Amino acid sequence: MTERSEAQDALNAQFRAFLETHAFPMEREFLSRPFRELVPQLAELRAKVKEAKLWAPHLPKALGGLGLSLPEFAEVSAVLGESPIGHYLLNCNAPDIGNQELLHAHGTEAQRSQWFIPLARGEIRSCFAMTEPEFAGSNPVWMDTQAVRDGDDYVITGHKWFTSSAEGAAFAIVMAVTDPMAAPHKRASQIIVPMDAKGVVFVRNIPVMGEGGSDYASHAELRFESVRVPVTNRIGDEGAGFALAQERLGPGRIHHCMRWLGICERAFRLMVQRAATRELSPGEPLGRQQGVQHWIAECRAEMDAARLLVLDVAHRIEREGSHATRDGISMIKFHVAGVLQRVLDRAIQVHGALGMTDDTPLAYWYRHERGARIYDGPDEVHKSAVARRILAAAGMDVGRKTEDGRKRR
């Protein structure tokens, strides 16, 4: 079921109107100043979002959200993706949205009142620290960070990087090994670590494609030097870290893919507008060139097909759960990331030198969304996962996993 209802169209129109009035006019500033300087202005806009009753569309109404289903939120996410600050303004930005969903589903009462409720209200931010510089992030069960039990505490020691939005976050959810002798998928747990805990060392924000980053718009390198937190900070059972991460990633990939399709829509609009108005000579618009016409047609077809695929997977997650839909989740992850790269590349090409500037959001997205083919599992991992299951179903021996979780050749 991928037809949009009238109610969904009306909701999308409300979000679009909010972006047009409040977010698009702020983009020049967003593209030219460090994020941390814009935080007070953005806080005012977030207050307006609450007044307009558009806050946290993914959260239940009882928690101050709109109570949308996954497919309904997916549609909204595509609208919000059209602005680089859309999701942030509505408090449904990664990594907070994933942490909210995790704590909502698996947090204890104490964790919910201390961390989840302020996060849902937008009073604090959070981050998710899993990837380590010394270990291949594409093998999620292989890591070095340890959480050693000492009485009623864990003592956490490790090195993480690409912890998005760590600067200014109130807490991190840290993936750490709690039982090195357990089976690979049961070794690690997810533990809440306040960012002001003794031993949390903020090493730096890692520059990405030439941008240093700040506050929410940043990716940090962190060290955990004998950080002591109570065992009650663990989310779920000991050893459930990997399973919880998998659960988080199903809906998370729908959020990302629809946000990417929102970026595509905006880039496409800009490309079409430029092709229709930029004259190569008097009375000869760029859009008369056959090559440009083909790009426009290819983009439209790729975006529409991708949208249908993502919405179909969103409906299947709702009906059958993330595990049963894992092939679909993998397919949208690499497929839509590819569509995004092609649409942005063509849009920049049509803009010529203007496409390289920050006078449009195209260059910003081109820099930051190159990562779409890497984060949440690189393309190759998802392609192999899908192909291995198809080949296994055809009777081929696809090999066993080694002790550390990697595939044997």
Ligand X SMILES: Cc1cc2nc3c(=O)[nH]c(=O)nc-3n(C[C@H](O)[C@H](O)[C@H](O)COP(=O)(O)OP(=O)(O)OC[C@H]3O[C@@H](n4cnc5c(N)ncnc54)[C@H](O)[C@@H]3O)c2cc1C
Q: Please state the closest distance from residue 7 (CB atom) to ligand X, in A.
A: 33
CA distance 300 to 335: 15
Burial (CB count <10 Å: 0-12, 13-18, 19+), residue 231: middle
Residue 128: φ, ψ to 5°: -130, 115
Interface with ligand X, residue 99, by CB under 6 A? no
Q: How many residues bind ligand X (CB under 6 A)?
A: 19
CA distance 132 to 157: 12
Among 67, 118, 236, 371, binds ligand X (CB under 6 A): 371
Among 73, 88, 162, 171, binds ligand X (CB under 6 A): 162
Which residue sits closest to ligand X, CB atoms considered? 137
Q: Please state the closest distance from residue 67 (CB atom) to ligand X, in A.
A: 27
Classify residue 4 by its DSSP letter. P
* Residue position matching structure tokens 């558009």: 54
| CB 218 within 8 Å of CB 35 | yes
| CB 357 within 8 Å of CB 366 | no
Interface with ligand X, residue 325, by CB under 6 A? no
With H, G, I as helix, E, B as strand and everything else as coil, classify residue 355. helix
Interface with ligand X, residue 375, by CB under 6 A? yes
Interface with ligand X, residue 203, by CB under 6 A? no
Burial (CB count <10 Å: 0-12, 13-18, 19+), residue 64: middle
Nearer to ligand X by Cβ, of 300 and 388: the residue is 388
Which 212-251 residues touch ligand X, going by CB under 6 A? 219
Among 145, 163, 190, 360, binds ligand X (CB under 6 A): 163
Interface with ligand X, residue 29, by CB under 6 A? no
Which 377-406 residues touch ligand X, going by CB under 6 A? 378, 380-381, 384
Q: Please state the closest distance from residue 277 (CB atom) to ligand X, in A.
A: 33
Interface with ligand X, residue 128, by CB under 6 A? yes
CA distance 38 to 88: 12
* Residue position matching structure tokens 């997810």: 190
Among 138, 146, 246, 289, binds ligand X (CB under 6 A): 138
Nearer to ligand X by Cβ, of 67 and 378: the residue is 378
Q: What are the CA-CA distances from residue 296 to residues 34, 74, 275, 293, 350 (Å)? A: 33, 24, 9, 5, 10
Residues at the interface with ligand X (CB under 6 A) = 95, 128-131, 136-138, 162-164, 219, 371, 374-375, 378, 380-381, 384
